[in-house]
Amino acid sequence: MKTLIDYSKTSQKVISVENAVYICDYVLEILFNNQSRKKVSFKEFLSKSQHHSIIKYLNEESFSKFKIIDGNLNWNDYEMIFSISDLYEGKI
C-alpha cells in the first residue's frame, strides 16, 4: 500500500481519511487528516468490475455502508478497500 507523506510541515505526517460522506451516484466527499477535501467517483470502477464481491456495490445502499478503519475507507471487513494515495489523487 502506498503511503503519502505531507512534507509541508516540519514533521512528517501520514495522510489518512478522517471522514467521508456519500453524496450520490457513487461519489464520496472525503476529508483527509491534512484538512484537504476530495470528491471521488467510484462509479466507473464499480461498473467495469466483473468480480462478484465488487459488483454488489453497484447497489447504492451497499456502497453507502462504508466505514473508516485505521484511516482507510473500508467496505464489509476489507472486502473492498482503496489505496490512500489513489483516493487523495481522486483516481480510482
- Digit-coded pLDDT (tens) for 4-61: 655 555 456 899 999 999 999 999 999 999 999 999 999 999 999 999 999 999 999 9
pTM for this one? 0.83
How many domains, in total, are found in the chain? Answer: 1
Q: How far apart are CA 10 and CA 63, in angstroms?
A: 38
Residue 65 Cα distances to 21, 22, 61, 90, angstroms? 10, 9, 7, 20
Please say whether the beta carbons of 86 and 3 come within 8 A: no
Give me the pLDDT at residue 55, please: 95
The CATH number linked to 28 is 3.30.2020.10
**Residue range(s) defining the domain that contains residue 43:** 5-89
Give me the pLDDT at residue 12, please: 62
Q: How confident is the model at residue 1 (pLDDT cuts 50, 70, 90)?
A: very low
What dihedral do alpha carbons 29, 73, 86, 10 form, nearest 10°? Answer: 90
